[in-house]
């Protein structure tokens, strides 16, 4: 009987953990084929740990690299250095990375230096704008240059990879594993004190906002715009899990704090966030991952950015890009609050991001890679 393949997964952020967890779970269910080795860089310590707890994942290596206010160069070089030791110690047969974080780039580069094959989960997303989102666009493009297997969530991301001359045999259209994650989290009997205090006939707007390029003036404009939407619609309640960035926290408190029907809460655990999303009427966000998750829950999304690497949602009609200026945000929010036909059109558009079976496809492709005598 052949030895199981030692597959090292390396991630460091909350979305990275949410997207890798279904793959680790799928590999654990096949112990004769796979020996998963979990490495976390803890790029986002607190936000990462709650996801690990929920999925009962205990890292084999925890680099705990995060320092407040370090530069991107410091962060990436420190991770590269630590990953060298981890790879030497564990000697994996393959390394899986996910998404577009600094961890993704550092881990794929470390794998390349050790001549270990790399599989990129969520490969092929592009804006083709070097600085938007920053540094994620370059993290994912550089990662794809050194990867061997590409797990593209959609046909559009596959086509981006083909246009960059990656070989079709190495690209697998799998769906996004964040859709798989919802299968573990969303529950019909879910309760939470914040949700329990909201009258049943009120509609919940769920907001998340934290991207680097939105800090400062864009965030201020958005908060003002959303505050107006809540004030002029008496059956609307806003829930905003505030990201633990001190600048974001201060502005949220200043512009949205202590107001009727506005609930500022701590960042929610993944179980809570997914269930809050499932109970909401409309989601406003600058997050990438939430654009993929919301259509599974049949929730329209207003994207607080002027571009997206997830164009599939725009094409399918599940999300709308509204930028960060009040006029467009308010026009779209008012329409979706008042025009039931428009609302239904968005809420019921088909989900282009997957069917919840991405992890199984990825694990099969990894097994086939070894079966084909690599």
Nearer to ligand UDP, 92 or 313 (CB): 313
Task: List the one residue out of 244, 148, 239 whose CA is nearest residue 196.
Answer: 239
Nearer to ligand UDP, 23 or 87 (CB): 23
> DSSP of 108-127, one letter per residue?
HHHHHHTT--EEEET-----
Residues of this chain that bind ligand UDP (CB under 6 A): 14-15, 18, 178, 208, 241, 267-268, 270, 273-274, 287-290, 293
Nearer to ligand UDP, 18 or 107 (CB): 18
Question: 181-216: string of b/e by CB count within 10 Å (b at 16+)?
Answer: bbebbbeeeeebeebeebeeeeebbbbbbbbeebee
Q: How far apart are CB 24 and ligand UDP at their closest, in Å?
A: 16
Rounded distance between C-alpha atoms, residue 94 and residue 145, angstroms:
16
Nearer to ligand UDP, 59 or 241 (CB): 241
Q: How far apart are CB 19 and ligand UDP at their closest, in Å?
A: 8
> How many CB atoms are closer than 10 A to CB 155?
12
Q: How far apart are CB 356 and ligand UDP at their closest, in Å?
A: 14
Write the CB contacts of 16 (distance below 8 Å, at least 6 apart in sequence). Answer: 43, 48, 98, 99, 101, 103, 104
Write down the H helix ranges in 200-269.
217-232, 246-256
Nearer to ligand UDP, 150 or 353 (CB): 353
Q: How far apart are CB 374 and ligand UDP at their closest, in Å?
A: 30
Q: How far apart are CB 48 and ligand UDP at their closest, in Å?
A: 10
The kind and range of the H/E element at 101 are none
Nearer to ligand UDP, 296 or 369 (CB): 296
Rounded distance between C-alpha atoms, residue 23 and residue 83, angstroms:
21
Nearer to ligand UDP, 117 or 323 (CB): 323
Q: How far apart are CB 112 and ligand UDP at their closest, in Å?
A: 23
Three-state SS for 191? Answer: coil
Three-state SS for 150? Answer: strand
Q: How far apart are CB 115 and ligand UDP at their closest, in Å?
A: 29
DSSP 354: -
């Amino acid at each position: 009987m052949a030895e199981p393949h030692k597959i090292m997964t390396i991630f460091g952020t909350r979305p990275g953990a949410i997207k890798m967890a279904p793959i680790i779970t799928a590999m654990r269910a096949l112990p004769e084929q796979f020996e998963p080795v979990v490495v976390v860089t803890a790029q986002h310590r607190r936000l990462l740990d709650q996801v690990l707890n929920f999925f009962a994942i205990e890292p084999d290596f925890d680099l705990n690299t995060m320092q407040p206010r370090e530069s991107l160069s410091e962060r990436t070089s420190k991770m590269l250095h630590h990953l060298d030791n981890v790879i030497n110690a564990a000697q994996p047969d393959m390394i899986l990375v996910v998404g577009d974080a600094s961890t993704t780039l550092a881990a794929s580069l470390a794998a390349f230096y050790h001549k270990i094959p790399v599989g990129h989960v969520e490969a092929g997303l592009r804006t083709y704008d070097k600085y938007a989102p920053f540094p994620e666009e370059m993290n994912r493009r550089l990662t794809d240059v050194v990867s061997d297997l590409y797990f593209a969530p959609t046909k559009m991301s596959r086509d981006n990879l083909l246009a960059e001359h990656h070989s079709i045999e190495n690209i697998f259209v799998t769906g996004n594993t964040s859709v798989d994650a919802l299968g573990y989290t969303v529950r019909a009997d879910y309760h939470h004190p914040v949700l329990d205090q909201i009258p049943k006939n009120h509609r919940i707007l769920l907001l998340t906002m934290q991207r680097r390029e939105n800090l400062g003036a864009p965030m201020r404009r958005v908060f003002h715009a959303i505050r107006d939407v809540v004030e002029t619609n008496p059956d609307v309640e806003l829930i905003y899990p505030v990201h633990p960035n001190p600048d974001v926290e201060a502005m949220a408190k200043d512009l949205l704090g202590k107001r009727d029907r506005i609930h500022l809460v701590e960042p929610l655990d993944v179980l809570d966030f997914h269930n809050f999303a499932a109970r909401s009427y409309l989601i406003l966000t600058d997050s990438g991952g939430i654009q993929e998750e919301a259509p599974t829950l049949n929730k329209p999304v207003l994207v607080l950015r002027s571009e997206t690497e997830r164009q599939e949602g725009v094409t399918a009609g599940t999300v709308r890009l509204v930028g960060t200026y009040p006029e467009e945000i308010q026009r779209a929010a008012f329409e979706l609050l008042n025009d039931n036909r428009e609302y239904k059109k968005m809420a019921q558009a088909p989900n282009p991001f997957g069917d919840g079976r991405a992890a199984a496809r990825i694990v099969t492709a990894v097994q086939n890679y070894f079966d084909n005598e690599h």
